[in-house]
A = this chain, B = another copy of it.
Amino acid sequence: MSESTEAAFLKNYNPEAFDRPSVAVDVALLSAFDGALHALFSQRKDHPYCGDWALPGGFVGIDESIEDAVSRVLRVKAGLQDVYVEQLYTFGAPSRDPRMRIITVAHYALVPPATFEQAKAAIDAVAVARLGVTWAGEIGGPIDVLDPAGLPLKIAFDHSEILQLVVKRLRGKLDYSPVGYALLPAAFTLRALQEVHETIRGQRVNKDSFRRRLLAGGLIETTGEREHSTRHRPAALYRFRHGPAESGSFSG
């Protein structure tokens, strides 16, 4: 609990005279495939949480914007550029890092599966984690973070809390933002888009009304191309029409 006296307030008000927290960014790097969301983790080599798995992250430089710090982390740690990134939430519990006070601005980055594979190859001591969501809708709650063998990964810091919030946020934004398209290649079939929606929601969606709604919405347009090398009738390929107002940005 904080002090309520005027003196205590002034003490906190003058930042020059007192310690400042460190500020970091953490990035949940996500993709959707095999019926589940997947995230990339890196194994910690030092105290604290040595051996546990952490999201890619880094400190924000004193002259560096938060967005630039995220871009740097994605570039230096995952070899990525120009990916869809959104700020998620800022976590600042005084005890979240035992070394010192670190406030972290959590983000999520959404990439198509091929890009995810590239990042996996670039990240040091990497683990691909399958996210198992046990709750429906946007209630929120714990998430299983599983390695390829299906065993739970030990997650460092409050990073599993970050993933919980990511899933909740993605479900809320799916219908009203381009997050679904960020998880797909530039050209995609309606079926693939539907699978992304089903993966994020954790439940099947009605095919007929999904097609109608998306095609009527005007946010996608046909490329004129079709998929090929299928063992069935090939579907038409669509692309996302970048609308006038988007909340997410592409890290440079």
- Given contacts A18-B62, A19-B62, A68 and B105 within 8 Å (CB-CB): no
A156 to chain B, nearest CB (A): 16
Contact stretch, chosen from A69-77, A112-120, A188-196, A231-239: A69-77
Q: Is the CB of B69 within 8 A of A2?
A: yes
Does A218 belong to the interface (CB within 8 Å)? no
Contacts of A11 in B (CB 8 A): 61
Does A4 belong to the interface (CB within 8 Å)? yes
Contacts of A93 in B (CB 8 A): 65
Q: Is the CB of B60 within 8 A of A140?
A: no
Q: Which of B3, B21, B63, B76 contacts A20 (CB 8 A)?
A: B21
Contacts of A58 in B (CB 8 A): 9, 12-13
Bound Cα distance from A245 to B137, whole angstroms:
11
Q: Which of B2, B18, B60, B72 contacts A103 (CB 8 A)?
A: B60
Does A48 belong to the interface (CB within 8 Å)? no
Does A138 belong to the interface (CB within 8 Å)? yes
Bound Cα distance from A93 to B172, whole angstroms:
27
Does A203 belong to the interface (CB within 8 Å)? no
Which A35-64 residues sit within 8 Å CB-CB of chain B? Answer: 58-64
Bound Cα distance from A20 to B15, whole angstroms:
11
Bound Cα distance from A139 to B90, whole angstroms:
24
Does A149 belong to the interface (CB within 8 Å)? no
Q: Is the CB of B2 within 8 A of A64?
A: yes
A78 to chain B, nearest CB (A): 13
Bound Cα distance from A12 to B65, whole angstroms:
12
Contacts of A69 in B (CB 8 A): 2, 12
Q: Is the CB of B15 within 8 A of A71?
A: no
Q: Is the CB of A72 within 8 A of B9?
A: yes
Does A127 belong to the interface (CB within 8 Å)? no
Q: What are 29 A-B residue pairs whose CB atoms fall within 8 Å in the complex?
A: A1-B68, A1-B252, A2-B61, A2-B64, A2-B68, A4-B76, A9-B58, A12-B69, A12-B72, A13-B58, A14-B59, A15-B22, A18-B61, A20-B22, A20-B23, A21-B60, A21-B62, A23-B23, A63-B94, A63-B101, A66-B103, A87-B89, A92-B105, A103-B105, A138-B245, A139-B245, A140-B245, A140-B247, A172-B172
6 closest residue pairs by CB, A with B: A66-B92, A15-B22, A19-B62, A12-B61, A139-B245, A2-B72
